[in-house]
Amino acid sequence: MQMRVLVVDDDCDIVSALQKRLTWMGHEVLTAEDGEQALKLAIEDQPDLMLLDIELPGLSGLDVLKRLTERRSNVPPHVIPEVVVITAFGTIDRAVEAIRLGACDFLTKPFEPDHLSAVIEKARAQMALTRQIGLLQEEVLGRYEHVIGQSPRMIELLDTARRAAGASATVLLLGETGTGKEVMARALHRWSPRASKPFVVVNCAALPESLLENELFGHEKGAYTGAVKREPGKIESAEGGTVFLDEIGDMPAGLQTRLLRLLQDQEFYRVGGTQPIRTNVRFIAATNRDLKEAIQVGMFREDLFYRLNVISFTLPPLRKRPRTSLHWWNTSSESMVRGWPIVHSRSVLMRLS
């Protein structure tokens, strides 16, 4: 595959040698003599790969790398080039620093043609992987891209949800099965400052108590037969992001106590563990059960209910929504005929009001 390669070096002999070799390999080559010019070409011409010398006049190679890394979180993956740094033999420690800042590899001067080819192939593989990950992320997020409501009731609910998304307070979603609770939970995560962090789903009704405890909190090596190594749980894996506790009304009583302590103290113990683990996650819970009724019959802890019910939304069932004509949101033509307000993803269509 042909790549567009930007060579950045203030040594004209190095630039000439790399340009000839890369052209022979079938790649398009751009050149820059300093860091400012390199940044300009990286933004305007969007090369696939940058061969970046660390020692540059003015803006150093590490400074260029830092600025590219800062931009990477705000643009699609393919817009920022993969970076291979070029360093002299005596500056290996700076090459290690460049790897920490996001460079995928480094070349030491003088370098052999075969070594250059190997590094280029490694960078090509990394570039393909980065783009594949970006496409998969877009696909996953796109499934829940559109949350649409036209009725006054849904407009008010979505407006409130957008404002609530910015807080870290726990959210409780209520409503019958099929009313769109997970779609709303994912929207709350996407609208929140935690959007770049993981969104982890735990179905509290799908597993028996012991397995659900392990799923949530993880375990230490030797905690039980077959625990041959330490495994983090879903809560630990979601650090900085959101944990969606689906069917919270079916959580066993013993785990309700552990969850309550977690919500109070923001720390937990792995199964078999003795050291507390601090956590920074936002919890969104959902259920189709009447939790107040469950409290009365002793099936759900009242104190846990109030910990979860800081912000709550009730999604109405279909039978309580006005019946008009139903129309489809066409993402390819970006047009929608007036009709029911819907929550839509490319593969999901649900009427919400």
**Cα atoms found within 13 Å of the Cα of residue 280, Cβ hemisphere only:** 4
Measuring CA to CA, which residue among 154, 171, 140 is closest to residue 351? 154
Residue 4: band (very low, low, confident or very high) from pLDDT cuts 50, 70, 90: confident
Measuring CA to CA, which residue among 261, 200, 262, 194 is closest to residue 234? 200
The pLDDT score that the predictor gives to residue 318 is: 65
Segment 327-353 mean pLDDT: 38
Lowest mean pLDDT among 44-53, 248-257, 302-311: 44-53
pTM above 0.85, yes or no: no
Q: Of all helices (H) and strands (E), which one includes residue 286?
A: strand 282-287
pLDDT digits (tens, 9 = 90+) for 47-80: 889 998 888 888 888 888 888 888 876 666 667 8
Domain-by-domain residue ranges, the chain? 4-141, 153-320
CA dist 260 and 245 (Å) reads 13
CA dist 34 and 58 (Å) reads 7
Whether the Cβ atoms of residue 8 and residue 54 lie closer than 8 Å to each other: no
| pLDDT above 90 (res 261) | yes
Q: The tokens of 301 are what? A: 């802890």
Q: Which residues lie closer than 8 Å to 158 by C-beta, 6 or more apart?
A: 147, 149
Backbone angles phi, psi at 119, to 5 degrees: -65, -40
Among 98-102, 136-140, 175-179, 301-305, the range with the most confident prediction by mean pLDDT is 301-305
Whether 153-320 and 4-141 are alike in CATH topology: the answer is yes
CA-CA distances (angstroms) from residue 257 to 6, 11, 21, 213, 291? 58, 66, 65, 11, 16
Segment 28-43 mean pLDDT: 90
- Topology of domain 153-320, CATH: Rossmann fold (3.40.50)
The pLDDT score that the predictor gives to residue 146 is: 55
Residue 331: band (very low, low, confident or very high) from pLDDT cuts 50, 70, 90: very low
| pLDDT above 70 (res 247) | yes
User: Class of 4-141 per CATH?
Assistant: alpha beta
Residue 90: band (very low, low, confident or very high) from pLDDT cuts 50, 70, 90: low
CA dihedral 209, 211, 213, 214 (to 10 degrees): 170
Mean pLDDT taken over the chain: 81
Angle in degrees, CA 142, 143, 147, rounded to 5: 90
pLDDT digits (tens, 9 = 90+) for 198-220: 899 999 998 899 899 999 999 98
